[in-house]
């Protein structure tokens, strides 16, 4: 009896914390790791003609648990501890049973086979604080679209909890030398369903998403490293920049309206340029005899952060685009002051963080610069391992970074929540997978 009352008390507390996080309209950046809500996800109910139904239901409920855990906002309560996993038909959740496990939310799913390759997936999230359904969605589609439905529901759930969608319903692009040469691959955001999208048998590097369907990349198709725009479905390729020398570092500006890249200026010196999305009208931004490359846009288009070795070693700088090109009156500001090798800057979509890779000793680790105010910047070390973490890129919601690491000897793709700092491995191929980046969210309102 006493036990139960304690449990009820905990439940009340838990309810308060959940409710608080949902309160605001705007997402407030949580600098500390968010408190994780405990969620239970019992096996989905399946209504199937064929035998594969149960396996499919298990795959999808497992995926929902994985997404919500990856978000850093949920902690999955292991199934064997569930006391009453399935309520009888027409009966409500047994909240008293759930409260014993300090459950703050329960997600349920139902998968129905409507016809040949036609499915309906209904997903519901119940909030223990109110004992009511908080999110409920029903999706219809083919077998191939089922995982995407789960990703969308996970994004909806994070939206309900925090006021901002997560980025699970997106694609991942990366470079792999699986075929013996570096080619571009595209998969779901979690590495599932990979497809090779370039096949030139020459080098293909540095994918940068323009939309959910197209990306820029470096290709050696015509011997020289040139920039191309690649449609991931039709595989159609358009030459975007083919100046003599290097055409590298594609970086897509706000709303995809501008492209920044590193090209060779007369005198064979690598500088930053900004051009139209088709590569026309390149305008020179930096002018320094050292190499300037790897630009990344602030989300408002006000600044470009980039790498330059103008000090003798690669360091990260920032230039104010509202002041025009580099000049005596508009000198780039150096952002990194420690370490002799800082590269691969990536600006978060909310503008607050700049992720980059720093070499210390023989290892690379990931760092964040936190732009706390006009003149206040602090540094956060995200990883600290005896192997390399490199190539960071943010998720559409800015809460996660995807990166490459040689933790297993070869390079694989990993992700990490910038709040919980817990790494999760995404790809596990024997070859080297590098330069990952997530596309913008594939979700369109009203669509």
Residues of the shown chain interacting with other proteins in the complex, contacts defined by CB under 8 A: 175, 182, 203, 205-206, 218, 223-225, 245-246, 248-249, 262, 268, 270, 291, 293-294, 307, 309, 313-314, 341, 343-344, 357, 359, 362, 364, 388, 390-391, 406, 409, 434-435
Distance CA 72, CA 89 (A): 33
Q: What is the largest CA-CA distance in the chain?
A: 82
> Distance between CA 317 and CA 435 in Å, rounded?
21
What whole-number distance in Å separates Cα of residue 224 and Cα of residue 226? 6
Q: 53 or 225: whose CB is closer to other proteins?
A: 225
To the nearest whole angstrom, how small is the minimum distance from the Cβ of residue 226 to other proteins?
Answer: 12
Q: Using the minimum distance from each CB to other proteins, give the nearer residue, 223 or 374.
A: 223
- CB-CB contact of 103 with 74 (8 Å): no
Nearer to other proteins, 135 or 217 (CB): 217
Nearer to other proteins, 25 or 268 (CB): 268
Q: How far is the CB of 383 from other proteins (least distance, A)?
A: 16
Rounded Cα–Cα distance for residues 14 and 128 (Å):
8
Nearer to other proteins, 77 or 270 (CB): 270
CA distance 130 to 434: 45
- Over 279-309, what HEC string results? CCCCEECCCCCCCEEEEEECCCCCEEEEEEC
Rounded to whole angstroms, the Cα distance separating 187 from 172 reads 5
Instruction: Say how far apart CA 253 and CA 330 lie, in whole Å.
Output: 20
Give the ranges where 71-139 is alpha helix by DSSP (H): 95-100
Is the separation of the CB atoms in 365 and 383 below 8 Å? yes
In whole angstroms, the minimum distance from the beta carbon of 336 to other proteins comes to: 13
Which CB atom, from 188 or from 294, has the smaller least distance to other proteins? 294
Question: Residue 322 is encoded by which pair of tokens?
Answer: 């509202």
Nearer to other proteins, 391 or 397 (CB): 391
The angle that helices 53-70 and 146-162 make with each other, rounded to 10 degrees, is: 30
Minimum separation from the CB atom of position 321 to other proteins (A)? 20
CB of residue 243 to other proteins, shortest distance in Å? 13
CA-to-CA distance for 162 and 195, rounded, in angstroms? Answer: 33
Shortest distance in whole angstroms from residue 296 CB to other proteins: 11
**Closer residue to other proteins, CB minimum distance, 126 or 216:** 216
- Smallest gap, in angstroms, from Cβ of residue 302 to other proteins? 23
Is the four-CA dihedral 165, 365, 393, 276 of positive or negative sign? Answer: positive
**Angstrom distance (rounded) from CA 228 to CA 205:** 10
Nearer to other proteins, 124 or 359 (CB): 359
CA-to-CA distance for 399 and 393, rounded, in angstroms? 11
Shortest distance in whole angstroms from residue 213 CB to other proteins = 24
CB of 102 to other proteins, least distance (A): 45
Torsion of CA 320, 323, 329, 334, to 10 degrees: 0
- State the minimum distance, in angstroms, from the CB of residue 367 to other proteins: 14
Establish how many alpha carbons lie within 13 A of residue 257's alpha carbon, considering only the half-sphere containing its beta carbon. 5
Q: By C-beta, is 135 or 246 nearer to other proteins?
A: 246
Nearer to other proteins, 93 or 391 (CB): 391
- CB of 314 vs other proteins, minimal distance in Å: 5
* C-alpha span between 435 and 70 (Å, rounded): 20
């Amino acid at each position: 009896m006493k036990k139960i009352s304690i449990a009820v008390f905990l439940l009340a507390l838990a309810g308060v914390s959940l409710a608080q996080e949902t309160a605001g309209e705007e997402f407030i950046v949580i600098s500390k790791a968010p408190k994780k809500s405990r969620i239970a996800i019992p096996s989905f109910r399946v209504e199937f003609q064929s035998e594969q139904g149960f396996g499919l239901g298990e795959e999808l409920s497992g995926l929902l648990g994985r997404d919500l855990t990856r978000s850093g906002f949920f902690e999955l309560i292991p199934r064997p501890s569930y006391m009453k996993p399935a309520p009888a038909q027409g009966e409500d959740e047994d909240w008293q049973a759930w409260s014993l496990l300090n459950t703050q939310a329960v997600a349920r799913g139902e998968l129905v086979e409507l016809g040949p390759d036609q499915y309906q997936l209904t997903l519901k999230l119940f909030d223990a604080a109110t004992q009511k359904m908080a999110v409920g969605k029903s999706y219809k589609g083919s077998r191939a679209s089922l995982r995407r439905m789960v990703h969308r529901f996970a994004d909806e759930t994070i939206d309900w909890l925090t006021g901002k969608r997560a980025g699970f319903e997106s694609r991942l692009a990366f470079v792999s030398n699986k075929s013996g040469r570096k080619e571009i691959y595209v998969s779901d955001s979690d590495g599932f369903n990979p497809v090779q999208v370039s096949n030139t048998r020459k080098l293909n590097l540095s994918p940068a998403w323009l939309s959910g369907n197209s990306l820029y990349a470096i290709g050696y198709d015509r011997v020289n490293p040139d920039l191309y725009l690649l449609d991931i479905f039709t595989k159609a390729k358009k030459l975007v920049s083919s100046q003599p020398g290097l055409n590298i570092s594609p970086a897509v500006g706000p709303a995809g309206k501008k492209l920044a890249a590193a090209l060779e200026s007369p005198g064979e010196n690598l500088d930053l340029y900004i051009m139209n999305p088709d590569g026309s009208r390149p305008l020179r931004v930096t002018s320094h005899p050292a190499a300037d490359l790897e630009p990344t846009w602030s989300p408002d288009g006000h600044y470009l952060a980039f790498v330059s070795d103008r000090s003798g070693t690669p360091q990260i700088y920032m230039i104010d685009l509202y002041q025009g090109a580099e000049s005596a009156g508009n000198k780039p500001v150096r952002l990194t002051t420690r370490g002799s090798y800082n590269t691969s800057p990536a600006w978060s979509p909310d503008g607050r963080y700049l992720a980059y890779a720093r070499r210390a000793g023989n290892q690379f680790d990931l760092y964040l610069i936190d732009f706390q105010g006009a003149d206040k910047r602090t540094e956060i070390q995200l990883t600290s391992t005896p192997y390399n973490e490199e190539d960071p890129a943010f998720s559409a919601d800015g809460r996660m970074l995807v990166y490459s690491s040689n933790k297993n000897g070869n390079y694989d793709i990993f992700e990490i929540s910038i709040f919980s700092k817990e790494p999760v491995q995404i790809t596990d191929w024997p070859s080297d997978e590098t330069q990952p980046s997530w596309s913008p969210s594939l979700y369109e309102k009203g669509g």
